[in-house]
A = this chain, B = another copy of it.
Amino acid sequence: MRRALRLAALAEGSTSPNPLVGAVVLDENGILVGEGFHARAGQPHAEVGALIQAGEKARAGTLVVSLEPCCHQGRTPPCTEAIVKAGISRVIVALQDPDPRVAGAGLSHLREAGLEVISGVLEAEAAHQNRAFVHRVRTGRPWGILKWAMSLDGRTALPNGASQWISGPEARHWVHRLRAGCDAVIVGAGTVRADDPLLTSRGLRQPEPLRVVLSRSLNLPATAQLWDTSLAATLVAHGPEAESRQSVRWPQGPELCELSASEPKDLMQELAKRGCNRILWECGSQLATAAVQQGCVQELMVMVAPKLLGGSPAKTPLADLGFSCMDQVVMLKPDGSQRIGCDWLLQLII
């Protein structure tokens, strides 16, 4: 199963809306005869790849797979059929698929076909690996990561707005890798105006993650790096209160998308519909605060730079959360830390 989980991880960031899945086939003597992983949506499922590799040797053998095999016709045929047809006699599964079209039915199907089925092996590890997929299936929203870089004294910019660069070059490269693991990267209109960011993974992911601007008013600059969609697609999401689209002298590239409200939670539903499992908030304090308050942030990644910026009017990571006593504050679960160049990366789960 550890091998299956490692195989699954090979496709990290590229399977959405599908989960990460890895599979291993052992012959009747326990010899490894096939392995596979799900590379991207529309391509063969992990089990099928492993069974094809195993061929006739799969007969009376064991399939070890990190997620419950599907039993429905999607873009590819049901895996349970392929497993039965291959003559597998035992299936070992880590995690049950939360997708309501599967949700235990895959395991039942296999048992009914007379196969031995063992489920729950390394379940916690498998659930962690697929936490974005599981969250999206259960809540209808992608797993949200909020990332910011700040100085040791908690500033995200100098009082005059200067913020390039708070973190070091290694940390900025790490951000490109983080983006490569996400399906979309979101900023607000303020960040477009202030920083004119590019928001790509610098080629680490193909295609690049969708770049999203959440704008209340569509009062956006006429020129911005994000409007050039030759490198990556850009989506401009707005609420019904925005000026009519006709009045926006809009460049060719970006797609406009009207939400029922220009709020993080509405954007999350839209992005889940578009197949995003994991998204990255790279926005300013106002939008970040709204995203936290609306439950659109599941994980925080904070880069702390060994610098003092000072400045009472300087920007800080979050705006008002409306707390008046320490019992009310948002408590987080530390999930690791590491040095990235000169900076510290602190990771937490909400």
Contacts and interface: CB of A to CB of B under 8 A. Distances in A.
A310 B320 contact: yes
B319 A152 contact: no
A77 interface: no
A319 B326 contact: no
B316 A153 contact: yes
A160 B160 CA distance: 26
Interface in A87-122: none
Contact of A308 (B152, B158, B163, B292): B292
Nearest to A349: B306
A98 to B, nearest CB: 27
B330 A321 contact: no
Given A309-B323, A348-B306, A342 B337 contact: no
A224 interface: no
Contact of A165 (B152, B316, B318, B326): B326
A300 B344 contact: no
Interface string A297-329: 000101010111111100011111111111001
Nearest to A302: B152
Interface string A39-69: 0000000000000000000000000000000
A175 interface: no
A36 B82 CA distance: 76
A319 to B, nearest CB: 6
Interface in A331-350: 331-334, 337, 339, 342, 344, 346, 348
A308 B337 contact: no
* Among A153, A309, A321, A339: residue with most chain B CB under 10 A: A153
A127 to B, nearest CB: 21
Interface size on A, as a range, is 35 or more
Most B CB atoms within 10 A — which of A152, A162, A326, A344?
Answer: A152
A133 to B, nearest CB: 25
A325 B152 contact: no
Contacts of A165: 326
Contacts of A307: 329-332
A71 B311 CA distance: 50
A312 B329 CA distance: 15
Contacts of A348: 152, 306
A164 B316 contact: no
Contacts of A304: 304, 346
Given A306-B333, A311-B320, A344-B337, A325 B153 contact: no
A16 interface: no
Contacts of A162: 324-326
Contacts of A238: none
A334 B302 CA distance: 16
